[in-house]
Amino acid sequence: MATLPLTGLRAQGSACLLVPVPLAQRVARATLVVEARVLDQRVLSAAGNHLITESQLEVYKVFRGNLPAGGLRVRTLGGALGDRLEAVSGALRLQKGQQGVFLLEADPAAPGEWRAYAGPQGFIAYDLTTGSAQEPFGSYARIDGELYPALRAEAGQPWRVLRANPELTLLKARMAAQAAAPDAPRSTAAPVISGFSPGSIVAGASAPMAGGPGVLTITGTGFGATRGAGFVQFRNADSPGSGANPNYIRPLDSDYLSWTDTRIEMRVPSDSQTGNTAGTGLFQVAASDGTLATSPDALTVRYALGNVTSGSPATTGRPRLVDDNAQGGYSLQYASSFPAAAQAPFERALQSWRCATGLNRRIGAATTVNVTAGDGVNVVRFAAANELEAGVLGVTYSYYSGCGSGASLSWQLTETDYAYNPSFTWNYGPAAPTSTEFDFESVALHEQGHGAQLTHIIAPGRVMHYAIGRGQNSRVLDATTDVTGGADVVNFSVSATATQRCNQPVLVASTAGCGVLPLPVQLTAFGARYEPGQGTRLRWNTASEQQSAFFSVESQPDQLDQPARADSLSQPGQPWREVLRLPAAGTSATPRQYEALDPRPLAGRRYYRLRQTDLDGTSTYSPVVVVQRAEVIADQLVAYPNPAQGLLHLRGPLAPGAAAQVRLLDTTGRCVARAAGPAGATAFDLPLTGIAPGFYFLEWYGDAGAPSRQRVLVAE
């Protein structure tokens, strides 16, 4: 993500499933642009049984427009009121005491009230520790040196100062003092992060006590005997910024479990002070005087569980899914505004979540309801004109009811609504989107992930990754992030006691109607080839996968004597050792290709096999291949790429001095292509010119024995 330039915004993707709105457009379309601080807040029950958070602003500067009489208040979607709570995916969240630049327009749902123009892009948040500013698609290194000039240039006029900003005044004084005496001694040693564990964690996991699961332990020096004004900040999964100018989020006070000068234990949040989620990347620890230390390595956030925040002081908890439709889960209903063309990709996305995780959601009868409201109807619709803010692709509304009190407060998901923006050019598939289209199935899969109570991660290409752009698609759930996260939500909900689920009927996990593939993974090829100076390159292909977790490449020790035998490719009694592991696709009906490199030098002959492991821990093994002197001796033919287009690369077994013969047969057994390799050659190519797309059988005759046969797919 590029740093925000002074004249506006350049970005290729979309964060929080937003489409970038340049600064010039935001300033021009906003009726009012001000620098302000959130002075106070209250949650209101609004039309449609929605919850709205109203923030009263204290204004310091006006860059454009005129302030209304009677004070300035901004309305944002969602909030907690009594035993009700509402969360809206990608919506702007403001916190009391937060300040920055607000780009505002009249709220069409409430005459006389204000909302941020372009949703989250209508607020540029200040970081009063570093003097920088952040927004969804970038950041400004300095408020006064970059942000102010950019706003003045776009507004075409100087700003008006209404009152002094005391926090900015203190920040400037502190930064000026540091610049004047950069080597001045500190009263305490600067903080240093020496390590942390675990290196991979889940954001938003339950962490009731220090040392428990889901807790991050940070070790080092100079953190401070007590936390005081210190804090930890993580990469913002909703708006990461760039490598040079990263955006960070800070946890709630309740996320800190213990703090000493050399050790911090805390929960990694999915709901922070600004409502954002912690994501993969380097993190920082700040001592009470604001001095920062950066982690030596990146923390990996595998997936992020949705949390709800309520109470004062704010505390977070995980919501549970329940049996809402008396059929074990939830029934989603199409409104009249939802086009027929969008239904198939929406249902493909729903089926992906259901079959991979057991999330019990189904399509119910169509509804006459065509509004997004907390009315007990799980509506799927296209929004009306101007209903969604500029740049918003889609929104998921989650409604909760609560019971209990204090630390024992429980929240249950009672309804979800899905609204999509009709003003964009959508691709409904199943073909891939063009460079001008947004892929509806990918967006639906992502928003349904929010409905499943998962939040954003930083993992390009994954379904819950924060960004997707025109011409891109992400239609396959990843086993280690999306599938594992969804299964976590299901297990957490199913295992709840009656008290924990507020005596509502328990969710019933179900994969009914998903069908069963003949094999969890259909492996179409596995081969290896030694490349001098690099190592052994291993390639394998799958035609389809179902709930596949990962692939492990295993090997036996090098053998320096005894010739390899094609009828017994392994060393009896020798241990198999895992040398590398790759994540699998999860559940996919699309052919996929994998490649890995074992960098170890080859001493003689080495045996390899592939172990494929499902999400339930079940493992299956491939045939064994042996690598010797840069050639592959295998008990099966290797053909790649598969699917192929134009040319198919072949490798296979060959008796000494023999010449391989290859035939390509269609499904009726008719030979449609043939080729012969040079004598002694174990690898050559088969041209596919003029071969119609479809499935074929490839036969390799390399010796006097039976031919090796391999299924291949010729692509269009």
pLDDT at 560: 58
Q: Are residues 219 and 263 in contact, defined by beta-carbon separation less than 8 angstroms?
A: yes
User: Which residue, 251, 312, 311, 245, is CA-closest to 277?
Assistant: 251
What number of CA atoms fall less than 13 Å from residue 601's CA on the CB side?
2
- Tell me which residue has tokens 């927004």: 135
pLDDT in tens, 119-172: 889 999 998 888 889 888 778 889 999 999 999 999 999 999 999 999 999 988
**φ and ψ at 562, to 5 degrees?**
60, 115
DSSP string, 143-171: IIIIIHHHHHHHHTS--EE-S--HHHHHH
SS (H, E, C) 234-289: EEECCCCECCCCECEECCCHHHEEEECCCEEEEECCCCCCCCCCEEEEEEEEECCC
Secondary element (H or E) of residue 485:
helix 484-494
Q: Report d(CA 124, CA 147) in Å as an integer.
A: 9
The token pair at 645 is 């287009």
For the chain, give the longest Cα–Cα distance: 95
| In contact, 1 and 242? CB cutoff 8 Å | yes
Q: What was the pLDDT predicted at 13? A: 36
Per residue, the 3-state secondary structure of 303-366, as one string, reads EEECCEEECCCCEEECCEEECCCCCCCEEEEECCCCCHHHHHHHHHHHHHHHHHHCCCEEECCC
Give me the residue label for tokens 């991660």. Answer: 457
Distance CA 243, CA 139 (A): 11
Residues forming CATH 2.40.50 domain(s) in the chain? 23-180
Q: Among 86, 175, 616, which residue's Cα sits nearest to residue 374?
A: 86
Q: What would the pLDDT profile of 506-541 be if each residue is shown by its tens digit?
A: 999 988 877 543 445 777 778 888 888 788 899 888
What's the confidence (pLDDT) of residue 673?
87
Under 8 Å between Cβ of 586 and 482: yes
Domain boundaries 192-304, corresponding CATH code: 2.60.40.10
> What 3-state class would DSSP assign to 122?
helix
Distance CA(94)–CA(364), nearest Å, equals 36
How far is residue 71's CA from residue 339's CA, in Å, rounded to a whole number?
A: 42
Q: Does residue 448 contact residue 409 with C-beta atoms inside 8 Å?
A: no
Length of the chain: 716
**What CATH number should be reported for the domain whose range is 637-716?**
2.60.40.3080
CATH 2.60.40.10 in the chain: give the residue spans. 192-304
Regions of the chain with pLDDT less than 50? 1-16, 516-519, 561-569, 630-635, 704
DSSP E strands: which ranges in 466-589?
A: 521-531, 535-555, 577-588
Helix, strand, coil shares of the chain, percent, nearest 5, are 15, 40, 45
442/477 Cα distance (integer angstroms): 10
Neighbours of 79 (CB within 10 A): 24
Nearest alpha carbon to residue 686 among 650, 632, 710, 653: 650
- Helices and strands (DSSP H and E) totals, the chain: 6, 47
Contact 521, 584 (CB under 8 A): yes
At the topology level, CATH places domain 320-494 in Collagenase (Catalytic Domain) (3.40.390)
- Which H or E run includes 399? strand 394-403
What DSSP assignment string belongs to 182-230? Answer: TTPPPSSPPPEEEEEE-SEEEET----STTSTTEEEEEEE-S-SS-TT-
> Which fold is adopted by the domain 23-180?
OB fold (Dihydrolipoamide Acetyltransferase, E2P) (2.40.50)
Q: Nearest to residue 649, comparing CAs of 680, 623, 688, 622?
A: 688
Q: Where in the chain is the domain with CATH 2.70.50.50?
A: 516-633
Give the Cα separation of 44 and 54 in Å (integer).
7
3-state secondary structure of 512: coil
Domain 516-633 annotated CATH 2.70.50.50: yes
Say how many C-beta atoms besides its own lie within 10 A of residue 619's C-beta: 11
The CA R_g of the chain, rounded to the nearest whole Å, is 29
Q: Do 197 and 265 contact (CB within 8 A), yes or no?
A: no
- Residue 15: the pLDDT is 43
User: Distance between CA 41 and CA 368 in Å, rounded?
Assistant: 35
